[in-house]
Structure 1
């Protein structure tokens, strides 16, 4: 793969070069098959076999071998397809692996490229969120302590599974996965549903102003985590995601 600042050639799309661009419209990455927003590499050739070809930036210029602090004995190698014949699950977000993946042959762990590149710390200007291998407390959305990575606040007031944040994302952007005209899907800017109802149901003992403040903090956390999951953990994208949220 040849890389320049704004243009690359990629082995899974060899006939045309891919150009780096910025989008505020959600897309599905043709590499990892996960949702994306922000910076991506795309093909817009008029006579391309694909209607449109998009790759997350981290998928397009993936490092061949990486190490993850949570798995000190593991060496993760990049694959264009899930290795083996059995179903593979991302150990970070618990979603099925359908395309590009980082895989540890020794231990059998798998990570989506965007999950493997999640920032250790997300800063919204007021609170820091820390990436954790395991939950320190009950998840703010599901109320459980199941497997998978999470982000937590320093004070441990709230913890959020990556899988739960992805569920919110899929619920709101389900049109991305419907079997309808691809061009029509790409024109849809859907909305993340109101977070207060989804989050409040797990806080039966909290009322009034306290639950509003609690859900407001969690809503801010979700905006940051969603932007990171989608491959572009920047304040600009967090603001775009915030614009999708129903009031």
Structure 2
């Protein structure tokens, strides 16, 4: 995905320009209605915030898990019935990708989840089904929704748990480093990409979330 410091979207938000920002604080996306952190686009006039995937969506795409489906970008869920993301199983309330043939729905951020999360010590691979109890929340949900599974087969995680875990972990990481990334015309594109793809220790945050989850259930 290309980064642009400022642009006008004739489709998403034609009224004003959207400006690229990088934040270490979680934000609410006015597109998909989900939490985000890191790269975003903001309309200062309307105080709207968008994930980069929501500000720069694809009109359509085919996901490796659903090769017979063609997902179309929609600004709102079709019909009057509540719809849920087939990846994270969370409600779809705003921007989404929808396959009219099979009825599948996917959040933009879920559609762009990396197939592999690798911090150099632990590797998690994205899978189309949940094969065991989630290590972080302890809930079953076997066979339902997407998951991340470690190559060592010790960790099975709901996609929703991983998304929330990474937002919180990156927030803690940025606060520890104590700095806001200043964006200017001289800021390199590679720096943005490095910040977006950089991972804290996966094993450490998995154990922390597992402990917190166990405390909540005792």
Partners of 1:159 and 1:32 lie apart in 2 by: 26
The alignment yields a C-alpha RMSD, in angstroms, of: 2.9
Whether 1:144 and 2:143 are equivalent positions in the alignment is no
After TM superposition, list the pairs within 5 Å mapping 1:216-235 onto structure 2. 233-235=196-198
Kept in 1: contact 2:117–2:125 (CA 8 A): yes
Aligned to 1:124: 119
Partners of 1:22 and 1:153 lie apart in 2 by: 29
TM-score by structure 1 length?
0.65
Deviation at 1:19, TM superposition (A): 0.8
Which residues of structure 1 form unaligned runs of 5+?
173-189, 192-231
The residue matched to 2:42 in structure 1 has which SS?
strand
Equivalent residue in structure 1 for 2:155, among 155, 158, 170: 158
Whether 1:110 and 2:105 are equivalent positions in the alignment is yes
Partners of 2:32 and 2:52 lie apart in 1 by: 11
The residue matched to 1:59 in structure 2 has which SS?
helix
The residue matched to 1:58 in structure 2 has which SS?
helix
Partners of 2:110 and 2:104 lie apart in 1 by: 12
Aligned to 1:65: 60
Kept in 2: contact 1:136–1:156 (CA 8 A): no
Deviation at 1:164, TM superposition (A): 3.4
Whether 1:8 and 2:7 are equivalent positions in the alignment is yes
Q: What is the aligned residue count?
A: 179
Kept in 2: contact 1:148–1:163 (CA 8 A): no
Aligned to 1:36: 36
Which runs of structure 1 show a deviation greater than 3 angstroms over 4 or more consecutive aligned residues?
A: 164-170
Partners of 2:106 and 2:55 lie apart in 1 by: 16
Whether 1:91 and 2:103 are equivalent positions in the alignment is no
Partners of 1:106 and 1:156 lie apart in 2 by: 34
Aligned to 2:75: 80
Listed one character per residue, the Cα deviations across residues 16-60 of structure 1 (whole Å, up to 9, x for unaligned) are: 10011111111001100000111111112xxx3x3x111100111
Inter-CA distance 32–143: structure 2 relative to 1 (3 Å threshold): closer
Partners of 2:85 and 2:17 lie apart in 1 by: 29
Inter-CA distance 167–58: structure 2 relative to 1 (3 Å threshold): closer
Kept in 1: contact 2:12–2:55 (CA 8 A): no
Deviation at 1:9, TM superposition (A): 1.4
Partners of 2:20 and 2:6 lie apart in 1 by: 6
Which residues of structure 2 form unaligned runs of 5+?
173-194, 213-218
Partners of 2:128 and 2:110 lie apart in 1 by: 12
